[in-house]
Amino acid sequence: MTDQFSLQGKRVLITGSSRGIGKALAIGMAKAGASVIVSGRDNVTINAVCGEIRQLGAEAFPLVLDVTQPATFAAALARLPAPPDVLVNNAGTEHLCPSLDVDEALWDTILTTNLKGAFFCAQAAARLMAENGGGSILNLCSLTSQVGVPGAAAYGASKSAMAGLTRTLATEWAVKNIRVNGIGPGYFKTDLTAEFYENADWCQQMQGKIPLGRFGELDDLTGAAVFLSSDAARYITGQVLYVDGGYLAGI
Q: Which long-range contacts (CB under 8 A, 24 or more apart) does 218-222 make?
A: 218/20, 218/21, 218/24, 218/188, 218/190, 219/24, 219/28, 220/188, 221/21, 221/24, 221/25, 221/28, 221/183, 221/185, 221/188, 222/24, 222/25, 222/27, 222/28, 222/29, 222/31
Q: How far apart are CA 215 and CA 13, in angstroms?
A: 27
Q: Given the residues 155, 187, 242, 247, select the one marked as catalytic.
A: 155
Angle at 123 between CA 121 and CA 124, to 5 degrees: 65
User: Cβ(26)–Cβ(95) under 8 Å?
Assistant: no
Q: How far apart are CA 28 and CA 82, in angstroms?
A: 21
How far is CA 12 from each of CA 4, 89, 127, rounded to the nearest angstrom? 16, 11, 15
Q: How far apart are CA 229 and CA 137, in angstroms?
A: 8
Instruction: Clarify whether 155 is annotated catalytic.
Output: yes
Would you name the residues annotated as active-site residues?
Answer: 155
